[in-house]
């Protein structure tokens, strides 16, 4: 009887010692968990202490991640290290301690734990609900878990849940602080770069500043800056890419941050090592694209990175647009100066006063357009009763056309006094123009010589709008005899024709600035409308008829701008 009593006392003392040991372990766990704010240290202690206490072979801790609700394996002992970071989609996680072998087959995720020898799962439940799951394998020697050991693990989960919740909160705060520090750094970078961008109007320099800022801040290995030109994207700056980059119209369609790993488009850029495309936009229109390679660290682009790239890219695009507008303003100023020079040259070549022709009434004018063409006219006294009358239209615009006109004027004034015939003189001028101009430069030219004593007019038409000869009854004849446009081919033969002029006859010479004038419906004024005006105005003087034609052309054009020079010469026999 005494032996039986002693055995009971021994067992009671042994259980008490075990309880005391477990309470001590829980106290140690509580102290260890609450003494650290590092989530990694907390998770390590959750596994280390009970595994050492109960001689457990394996252990894992999974933490629920927001907002998807997946569980990430964050700590482990006794299982392959490659499982670290694995994501499990645990549907209906257990809300109390469960044995794996007692769970049904309806949960696919259970197979993962079975595969790696996890026998028991304990949820970590805080005020926010389940925040994690702790799993343990068999005890060494395959001993079953005793009831008091299960109670111990339940107590452990209650203590650990609070510590894990605090650790996750601290980790989140640290992450927010790190993001805040990074955002502040990126904002400072944006301010610094913006200041430098606003100090230059050099597009190449702006592109280089942008690429260096992005590569330095995010540590990416490749950077290409595309800028929209017309309807395609052209490369402004390329860093880290040695292969040639073709222009692309497809890039113009990008309106938001694009990860090339998530699309099958832009295969040619992926092959160059480009990972992301960032649109650079102004007023909801993509004006450029920032193409970046991967980070040297190997990480992805965070939301903060995307915001940084978008903000800096848009700022740089504004500077690029300002630079483009400045360049256009300079180019416009240069063109205006060239046009003014061309106008001065052109007006200097035209006669300031027409000679008095005995028995004849003559009027002429040139109205240059804002684009400055190459219209030319001249009335030159050759002899007492002989006058040369010329009208021409030089191809092209601007100073080039004005200089070509000056060559024509000089050639005409030199050759007109040599005594050569009209056709031969025009042929010589053609050869001079052909030899001294490019193939795309040519002149339509009409030249006639008026004998005021005999009322004879000998003319040659080198591809010009045929002038109209109108008799006193309104009959119109077109003066077409001649040859090719000047400057097209050398050594050409130019035919001439001599016509008689009777009292009341008129010759109207003009350039296509009259017949090709457009109205608001894009309809041309045309030769028939010009002929109709002339027929209805037979009683007008040369000057009056000229003013009526010009007035009717302007009335017909309405609000449409004058697209070409208007030049007209009217000769009438009194």
501: domain CATH number is 3.60.40.10
H/E segment holding residue 478: strand 476-478
192-217 mean pLDDT: 75
Q: Are residues 533 and 484 in the same domain?
A: yes
Do the Cβ atoms of 117 and 137 come closer than 8 Å?
yes
List, for residues 241-267, the tens digit of each pLDDT value.
877 787 778 888 888 888 888 888 888
Please state whether the predicted TM-score (pTM) of the whole model is above 0.85: no
463: left (phi over 0), alpha (psi -120 to 50) or beta: left
Domain count for the chain = 3
Looking at the domain assignment, is residue 2 inside a domain?
A: no
Contacts of 406 (CB under 8 A, 6+ apart): 345, 349
Q: Which of 309, 326, 343 is the last residue of a domain?
A: 326
Looking at the domain assignment, is residue 190 inside a domain?
A: no
Does residue 108 or residue 544 have the better pLDDT? 544
The DSSP code sequence of 42-90 is HHHHHHHHHHHHHTBS-EEEEEEPTTT--EEEEEEESS-GGGTT-EE--
Q: Are residues 256 and 150 in the same domain?
A: no
Q: Are residues 411 and 536 in the same domain?
A: yes
Looking at the domain assignment, is residue 515 inside a domain?
A: yes
pLDDT range class, residue 461, cuts 50, 70, 90: very high
> In the numeric block, which tokens belong to residue 283?
């007023």
345-365 mean pLDDT: 87
Do the Cβ atoms of 56 and 76 come closer than 8 Å?
no
Cα–Cα distance measured from residue 55 to residue 114, given in angstroms and rounded to the nearest whole number: 19
- Gyration radius (Cα) of the chain, Å: 47
Q: Are residues 292 and 233 in the same domain?
A: yes
273-300 mean pLDDT: 86
> In the numeric block, which tokens belong to residue 498?
């001599």
H/E segment holding residue 131: strand 129-137
Does residue 338 or residue 572 have the better pLDDT? 572
> In the numeric block, which tokens belong to residue 528?
């028939």
pLDDT range class, residue 186, cuts 50, 70, 90: low
pLDDT at 199: 66
Q: Are residues 219 and 131 in the same domain?
A: no
Q: Are residues 382 and 268 in the same domain?
A: no
pLDDT at 234: 87
pLDDT at 36: 60
pLDDT range class, residue 5, cuts 50, 70, 90: very low
Find residue 239's DSSP bridge partners. 223
Looking at the domain assignment, is residue 385 inside a domain?
A: yes
Do the Cβ atoms of 249 and 232 come closer than 8 Å?
yes
Cα–Cα distance measured from residue 529 to residue 418, given in angstroms and rounded to the nearest whole number: 40
The pLDDT of residue 443 is above 50 = yes
- Whole-angstrom distance between the N-terminal and C-terminal Cα of the chain? 165
Contacts of 304 (CB under 8 A, 6+ apart): 179, 182, 183, 186
Q: Are residues 486 and 565 in the same domain?
A: yes
77-103 mean pLDDT: 87
Query: Closest by alpha carbon to 286, among 233, 216, 325?
Result: 233
pLDDT at 59: 92
Do the Cβ atoms of 411 and 427 come closer than 8 Å?
no
Interaxial angle between packed helices 303-349 and 203-218, expressed in degrees from 0 to 180 and rounded to the nearest 10: 170
C-beta atoms surrounding 367 within 10 Å:
16
**42-56, 98-112, 126-140, 473-487: least confident range:** 98-112
Cα–Cα distance measured from residue 379 to residue 479, given in angstroms and rounded to the nearest whole number: 18
pLDDT at 10: 46
Find how far residue 441's CA is from the centre of its chain: 36
Cα–Cα distance measured from residue 434 to residue 388, given in angstroms and rounded to the nearest whole number: 23
Query: Closest by alpha carbon to 399, among 343, 455, 437?
Result: 343
pLDDT range class, residue 296, cuts 50, 70, 90: confident
Looking at the domain assignment, is residue 482 inside a domain?
A: yes
Q: Are residues 394 and 518 in the same domain?
A: yes
* Cis amide leading into 387 (omega within 30): no
Q: Are residues 320 and 357 in the same domain?
A: no
The pLDDT of residue 228 is above 90 = no
Looking at the domain assignment, is residue 193 inside a domain?
A: no
pLDDT range class, residue 388, cuts 50, 70, 90: very high
Distances (CA, A) of 422 to 455, 462, 480, 494, 505: 17, 12, 15, 9, 22
Cα–Cα distance measured from residue 62 to residue 50, given in angstroms and rounded to the nearest whole number: 16
The pLDDT of residue 340 is above 80 = no
pLDDT at 188: 66
| Domain membership of residue 260 as a residue range | 198-326
Contacts of 343 (CB under 8 A, 6+ apart): 368, 372, 402
pLDDT at 7: 53
Tokens 């960032």 belong to residue: 278
Looking at the domain assignment, is residue 310 inside a domain?
A: yes
CATH label of the domain that carries residue 207? 3.30.450.40
Q: Which of 326, 343, 365 is the last residue of a domain?
A: 326
CA–CA–CA angle 461, 519, 342 (5° rounding): 55
Contacts of 469 (CB under 8 A, 6+ apart): 476, 477, 478, 479, 499, 501, 505, 506, 507
> In the numeric block, which tokens belong to residue 551?
């007035």
Q: Are residues 279 and 204 in the same domain?
A: yes
Q: Are residues 106 and 252 in the same domain?
A: no
357-386 mean pLDDT: 87
Do the Cβ atoms of 432 and 410 come closer than 8 Å?
no
Q: Are residues 136 and 208 in the same domain?
A: no
Query: Closest by alpha carbon to 135, among 43, 70, 68, 28?
Result: 43
The pLDDT of residue 405 is above 90 = no
Question: pLDDT > 90: what percent of the chain?
Answer: 33
158-179 mean pLDDT: 76
Cα–Cα distance measured from residue 148 to residue 17, given in angstroms and rounded to the nearest whole number: 13
Mean residue pLDDT across the chain: 84
Residue 272, phi then psi, degrees to nearest 5: -85, -5
Looking at the domain assignment, is residue 404 inside a domain?
A: yes
């Amino acid at each position: 009887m005494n032996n039986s009593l002693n055995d009971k006392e021994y067992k009671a003392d042994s259980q008490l010692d075990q309880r005391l040991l477990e309470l001590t372990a829980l106290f140690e766990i509580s102290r260890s968990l609450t003494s650290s704010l590092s989530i990694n240290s907390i998770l390590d202690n959750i596994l280390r202490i009970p595994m050492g206490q109960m001689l457990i072979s394996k252990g894992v801790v999974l933490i629920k991640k927001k907002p998807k609700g997946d569980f990430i394996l964050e700590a482990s002992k006794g299982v392959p290290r490659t499982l670290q970071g694995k994501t499990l989609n645990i549907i209906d996680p257990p809300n109390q301690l469960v044995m794996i072998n007692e769970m049904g087959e309806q949960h696919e995720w259970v197979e993962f734990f079975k595969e790696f020898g996890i026998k028991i799962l304990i949820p970590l439940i805080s005020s926010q609900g389940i925040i994690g799951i702790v799993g343990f394998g068999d005890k060494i020697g395959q001993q079953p878990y005793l009831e008091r050991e299960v109670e111990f693990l339940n107590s452990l989960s209650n203590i650990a849940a609070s510590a894990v919740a605090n650790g996750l909160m601290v980790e989140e705060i640290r992450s927010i602080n790190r993001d805040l520090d990074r955002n502040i750094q990126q904002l400072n970078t944006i301010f610094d770069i913006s200041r430098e961008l606003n100090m230059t109007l050099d597009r190449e320099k702006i592109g280089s500043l942008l690429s260096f800022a992005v590569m330095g801040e995010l540590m990416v290995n490749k950077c290409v800056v595309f800028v929209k030109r017309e309807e395609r994207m052209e490369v402004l700056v390329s860093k880290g890419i040695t292969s040639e980059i073709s222009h692309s119209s497809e890039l113009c369609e990008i309106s938001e941050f694009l990860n090339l790993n998530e699309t099958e488009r832009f295969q040619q850029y992926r092959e160059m090592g480009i990972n992301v495309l960032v649109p650079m936009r102004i007023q909801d229109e993509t004006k450029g694209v920032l193409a970046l390679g991967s980070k040297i660290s190997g990480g992805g682009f965070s939301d903060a990175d995307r915001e940084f790239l978008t903000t800096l890219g848009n700022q740089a695009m504004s500077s690029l647009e300002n630079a483009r507008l400045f360049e256009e303003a300079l180019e416009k100023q240069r063109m205006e100066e060239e046009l003014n020079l061309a106008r001065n040259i052109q007006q200097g070549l035209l006669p300031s006063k027409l000679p008095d022709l005995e028995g004849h009434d003559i009027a002429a004018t040139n109205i240059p357009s804002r684009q400055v063409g190459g219209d030319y006219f001249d009335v030159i006294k050759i002899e007492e009763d002989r006058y040369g009358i010329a009208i021409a239209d030089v191809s092209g615009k601007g100073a080039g056309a004005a200089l070509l006109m000056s060559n024509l004027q000089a050639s005409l004034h030199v050759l007109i006094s040599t005594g050569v015939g009209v056709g031969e003189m025009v042929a010589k001028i053609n050869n001079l123009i052909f030899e001294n101009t490019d193939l795309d430069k040519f002149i339509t030219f009409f030249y006639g010589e008026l004998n005021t004593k005999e009322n004879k007019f000998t003319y040659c038409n080198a591809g010009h709008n045929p002038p109209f000869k109108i008799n006193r009854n309104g009959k119109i004849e077109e003066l077409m005899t001649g040859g090719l446009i000047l400057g097209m081919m050398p050594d050409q033969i130019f035919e001439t024709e001599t016509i008689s002029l009777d009292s009341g006859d008129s010759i109207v010479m003009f350039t296509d600035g009259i017949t090709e004038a457009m109205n608001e419906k894009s309809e041309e004024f045309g030769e028939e409308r010009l002929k109709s005006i002339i027929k209805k105005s037979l009683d007008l003087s040369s000057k009056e008829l000229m003013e009526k034609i010009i007035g009717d052309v302007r009335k017909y054009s309405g609000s449409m701008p004058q697209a070409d020079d208007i030049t007209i010469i009217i000769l009438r026999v009194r």
